Chain A
Amino acid sequence: MNGPQDWFTTAGLIAATISSIVACIAAAVRLLRMPQRGRTLEITAVITATVICGAVFMYRAFAVHRSWVPLQSHVDGLALLAGLVGMVVMWSYWTRRLQGLNVFLLPVMALVSLWGVCAGWWSWKPFDISSVWTSVHLFSVYIGTLSVAAAAAKGALWLYVDRQLRARTHQAQRLHRLGALANLESIEVGITRSATIGFVLLTIGLITGLIITTGGESRLGPGWWYSAKVVLAAGVWAIYALVMHVRFVPTFRGRRAAILSIVGLVLLIVVLGISQALPGPKTVQSSLFKVQSEPRLCATHHFELATVNCERPPKEASECI
């Protein structure tokens, strides 16, 4: 924790996590048991969590960083992401086009908020946003991640609706439940749209990451192109290229598209984990211990290819491994 003001961040994100979990439980119970009851509780909890995430994000921009530039650390990014997920959930309530998406998006919101708590507690570090490429990279990665999460939630919803449609028992109950869920065609279109947006943004993130990596500030070293982070980032990109082109590749319709969208999110989380643990081949070769113990080492917080976040203030840019 850096400074007393971070207690507010932590408390806010914990409250957002609890609200998201309450909304999540209410949504699940509503779907499985009583579709008509618990809606008010669910909506109230979602709004509360979204407002808290927004408040934390604004608070951190104006009170912690004391700057008009909002996105300055990974915690900010996670608060923003959780808030955006909450807004997508509210959008799904509003349009009713993708009914049931809330059940699968709310756990993502809870997870991201919880992750924000952990990130604020253990790995709070500001981004180095001196370059415009870094800003573009951060924006595309965070919004791209949101799209990926939305695509994965839609994939899970598709699989659930498919299962309900195929089940042969309790047809009356299932038909009743299906009434509270979107149809497969809409969900499939939704997966393709989210995957398309995610793919475009991740492509931008990948390109800007490459620019940053090869721009002289790389901490990945000379063998960066075969590092686990680069390979997995390329893997995620490839999966999203596939999901986006599902309409044109008939073999990957339906179930396969849904599963791929979930695999894409899982892979993204793996990339993040690896990027947190293994900054790059140079670090692995030189001193992994140094990565874990040295407080001035850079720690990437996303699947981005380049090192974009360094503990502030770095004495020199070259000190970032």
Chain B
Amino acid sequence: MRVEIAGQDALIVYFGEQASAAVSAHIQRAVVEINSQMADIVVDLVPSYASLLVIYDIDQCDHFEVRKRLREALRDLDTTEAVGGELVTLPVYYSLESGPDLEIIAERGKISVDDVIEIHLAGEYRVYAIGFAPGFAYLGEVDERIAAPRLATPRQKVPRGAVAIADRQTAVYPAQSPGGWNLIGLCPTRMFDPEQQPSMPVQVGDRIRFESIERDEYLSLGGNL
């Protein structure tokens, strides 16, 4: 664990050099400890692949005190257990209709469209980070056979719920937006709903599995085509 200054009221804690399930689980436990022991001085936390940004209240403390409190809060953190996080299942309607880039990924990997779907379904993914847009969860890692680079020209409009792949990451678009990821299906679950509590079905550190659903079920769960 390495602590660096980020700004006048922020420290960044690095838990490793690479993203991994173990590092992610470690960060998730750190978030829990900091939230319970340091809520009086912590303003915001940004967990990501291998780091945790800690933004503190500069009116109440300085970076020396935050470092000391972090050392105490994280000293006895159990680093042996590799899993952790909730297991969340997200339904996906995979088809050429809902996943316009399925064929491109299949061609790249010299496999069939059904194989692409099956390989995507077989994985258990971890929420490594949330960012880019409200509710956008970066999930990793997909099997190399279905990894695909971002589109050379991003789409102007990616629909809400689009299930997508970029390199070895996968995600569900929380809202309609421009986007350069490869689209393979549609998920009817709202990934970000400001009216709901909680507003997201997942948080950083959770484990995600996808489940294949048919067109009818997708529509009956509130999905749009």
Q: Do A and B bind each other?
A: no
